[in-house]
């Protein structure tokens, strides 16, 4: 059986902010590495 959207939506409420945070940290790390390479 598949879960209906109500079950998925509650999971996304918890998982969504984690994905956003990990994405933000990944972008920041990428930008820092780019900046360090430019300075060399």
Output the pLDDT for position 7.
Answer: 81
So what's the pLDDT on residue 21?
A: 97
Q: What is the pLDDT of residues 1-40, one digit of tens each?
A: 566 888 888 888 889 999 999 999 999 999 999 999 998 7
- Is 22 strand, coil or helix? helix
The predicted pLDDT at position 10 comes to: 85
pLDDT at 18: 95
**Residue 40, pLDDT score:** 76
pLDDT recorded at residue 1: 55
So what's the pLDDT on residue 25? 98
DSSP alpha helix (H) spans, 1-40: 5-39
C-alpha distances (whole Å) from 12 to each of 9, 18, 30 are 5, 10, 26
């Amino acid at each position: 059986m598949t879960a209906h959207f109500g079950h998925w939506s509650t999971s996304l409420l918890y998982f969504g902010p984690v994905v956003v945070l990990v994405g933000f940290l990944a972008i920041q790390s990428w930008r820092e590495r780019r900046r360090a390479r430019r300075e060399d």
